[in-house]
Structure 1
Amino acid sequence: MDVNAQNLSILNTAVSTAFNSAFEGAESQYTRIATVVPSKTAANTYAWLGNSSHIREWLGERVINRLKQHDFTLKNKKFEKTEGIPRDAVDDDQYGAYMPLFAQMGQDAKEFPDLLTFPLLKNGFTELCYDGQPFFDTDHPVGTKTVTSVSNMQAGSGDPWFLLCTKRHIKPLIWQNRRDFKLVMKTNPETSDHVFMTDDLLWGVDGRCNAGLGLWQLAFGSKAELNGTNFSAARTAMMKLKNDAGSPLGVIPDLLVVGPDNVTKAEVLLEAMNKANGESNTNYKKVELMVCPWLA
């Protein structure tokens, strides 16, 4: 196939079709655990994180809530992936062999938010969140007049698992999107220095975004063994959480997230109606199970 404007248009259509079909067909899970926030600048500041109060009876003047101020900023980053087709492959009508590369590029673009978001859970035992403490920690400061230490973790040495509350408007994590991933191309040897010098036709995808830690109150991390006792303790601890004013937050966890090594234990915990001794399993379908390969 001659490399001319008409044939390049046909080739670009083939590449775009492979990319878009794979993108639309791929699945992603990040929206279940992360608040999606559109970004219009180089970085977003989340001063509202941690500020929570309830509706009250209106007696006298309104009470203006001036809670703790936080300066948690998430900077956008640029990400890209680029693939090329040798011009000789186009000349010899062999470019079809490269279409799986662009289908994979489309799938990668769709799954990338998962790849960036879910590891935040695994790193949450050391990475700091808005209150200056690790996201999963034993002494988050809670309270305005009297400050108490609150835990959202269990210590241990095993593979981590995570209990999350995801049914609220605000989710445990943040997905910040500045520019959607978009396929671009450099294919014309008459206008592209790269094609002229290397004889490679290029297609690439790029975007600007980032992921960050949100409300620790909506997540519980554990490295203890995943069993009924530890699961129940984590669930109870989340439901007992209070805001800075001392009022219950009303958190009810609904999702258990595990990596590959905890799948069997999670299935026994949540999907078996009876325990090994025949006793009824009170944790049966207590929460949903999400298996995440990005936690491997």
Structure 2
Amino acid sequence: MKQKAITFFTLVGLFALAVLLAPAHAVHAATAETGKGLPFIGVAGMIVNSAALQNIFTNLKATFNKAFEAAPTFWEKVAMLVPSTSKTNDYKWLANFPRMRKWVGEKTAKALAAFNYTVTNDDWEATVEVDRNDIEDDELGIYAPQAQGAGFSAKQLPDEIVADLINGAFTNKCYDGQYFIDTDHPVTDKNGIVQSVSNKGTKKLSAATQAAAIASLGAGRIAMMKFTDDEGRPLNTIPTVLLVPPALSDVANVLAMNDRLEDGKPNPYKGTITVVCEPRLTDDNAWFLLDTSKPVRPFIYQERKKPVFVQQIDPQADDVFSKKKFKFGAEARAAGGYGFWQLAYGSDGSVA
């Protein structure tokens, strides 16, 4: 009887030891959808080993990627993607974009103007720390929303960059050394005389009357359509997008879609423009007309490295040893710049 008792308790002890030493992924399957149900071992909590860490962060990466794919973006509506293969891109070519001309005699090659416009890529990151105690205590569900947030933010990085460009359009310089939206862009006419050309207005966007609509939206459209190249030929710039902050979205939609304006008169702009409302725009009065139909667009999203999921799960890393912290998040390299100012018209809305 004594011998049987010893054998029984020995078996119980061996069973408990086997459970404790079992790989975490063999005990419980992870759920990538929510981050819950990550590996654990009964009341003893999770054993932090390489297999468990790999399983956990594979789950978090799947959650990150799913949020990244689902996140909405607006930047493609107003900006163009320019892949970057170096630290800095040079955009002086914007000064002399080639156009077809009648071939009489020898071909004429346009030299690049002496403008200096470069865009340098910046480093971007979003990092989340995972406390080792949370892994041991099987409290990893709290990190799933953070993985989703990192994925969502990484997808919208171009939106953030392009919105900053728009907010700075009245104060940031473009390829010709002038503010992107300005009153005195230098343009050489067909006689070689430098003229000052404006793509800036001051009228408040209005649909109150037909006269107010013509003075605001109408004036901007006409200004853009009159832009010419350095040979005096029309650039055929026709605005396709009316870009506004939320405070102007109702007025913009009336101008774009209603048959009649608020004074009952016919709306001459119905169907001529697509409204893009961007909550990141900080000036409630400023509005912009953009021609997005050309190969080059008004704004540039320069991408050196796409946003990617990164992780640090080495148990021997300094942060793990000294602070009990693992890490995951996103990294990217990118920047923004201005394309042709001739493809944009902006009003600060300072005059009623």
Shorter chain as denominator, the TM-score bin is: 0.7 to 0.9
The amino acid that maps onto 1:287 is I
Query: For residues 201-237 of structure 1, what are the alpha-carbon distances to aligned partners after superposition, in whole Å with 9 as ceiling and x for unaligned?
Result: xxxxxxxxxxxxxxxxxxxxxxx31121210100111
CA–CA separation in structure 2 for the residues paired with 1:83 and 1:238: 46
CA–CA separation in structure 2 for the residues paired with 1:44 and 1:98: 37
CA–CA separation in structure 2 for the residues paired with 1:277 and 1:117: 36
In structure 1, the residue matched to 2:204 is 225
- Matching of residue 283 in structure 1 with residue 269 in structure 2: yes
2:222 aligned to 232, 236, 248, which one? 236
- Matching of residue 152 in structure 1 with residue 199 in structure 2: yes
1:53 is displaced (CA, Å) by 4.1
What number of residue pairs does the alignment pair up?
Answer: 228
In structure 2, the residue matched to 1:7 is 52
8 Å contact from structure 2 (residues 185, 196) kept in 1: yes
8 Å contact from structure 1 (residues 256, 290) kept in 2: yes
CA–CA separation in structure 1 for the residues paired with 2:103 and 2:49: 73
8 Å contact from structure 2 (residues 93, 112) kept in 1: no
Task: Identify unmatched segments of 5+ residues in structure 2.
Answer: 1-45, 207-212, 283-352
In structure 2, the residue matched to 1:87 is 132
CA–CA separation in structure 1 for the residues paired with 2:262 and 2:227: 33
Of structures 1 and 2, the larger Rg is shown by: 2
In structure 1, the residue matched to 2:242 is 256
The amino acid that maps onto 2:257 is E
In structure 1, the residue matched to 2:323 is none
CA–CA separation in structure 1 for the residues paired with 2:227 and 2:153: 38
SS of the residue corresponding to residue 120 of structure 1 reads: helix
The amino acid that maps onto 1:247 is R
- Matching of residue 44 in structure 1 with residue 30 in structure 2: no
In structure 1, the residue matched to 2:176 is 131
Q: Spell out structure 1 runs of 4+ moving beyond 4 A.
A: none
CA–CA separation in structure 2 for the residues paired with 1:53 and 1:77: 30
The more displaced of 50-59 and 254-263 is 50-59
CA–CA separation in structure 1 for the residues paired with 2:223 and 2:272: 15
Taking every aligned residue pair, what percent have the same amino acid on both sides?
Answer: 36
CA–CA separation in structure 2 for the residues paired with 1:42 and 1:54: 30
Superposed counterparts of 1:94-133, under 5 Å: 94-133=139-178
SS of the residue corresponding to residue 280 of structure 2 reads: helix
8 Å contact from structure 1 (residues 53, 243) kept in 2: no
8 Å contact from structure 2 (residues 171, 179) kept in 1: yes
Q: 1:80 to 1:67 in 2, by over 3 A?
A: closer
CA–CA separation in structure 2 for the residues paired with 1:51 and 1:8: 55
TM-score in terms of structure 1 length:
0.74
CA–CA separation in structure 1 for the residues paired with 2:111 and 2:180: 23
1:93 is displaced (CA, Å) by 1.3
The amino acid that maps onto 2:231 is A
8 Å contact from structure 1 (residues 242, 248) kept in 2: yes
TM-score in terms of structure 2 length:
0.62
CA RMSD of aligned residues (A): 1.4
CA–CA separation in structure 2 for the residues paired with 1:271 and 1:57: 40
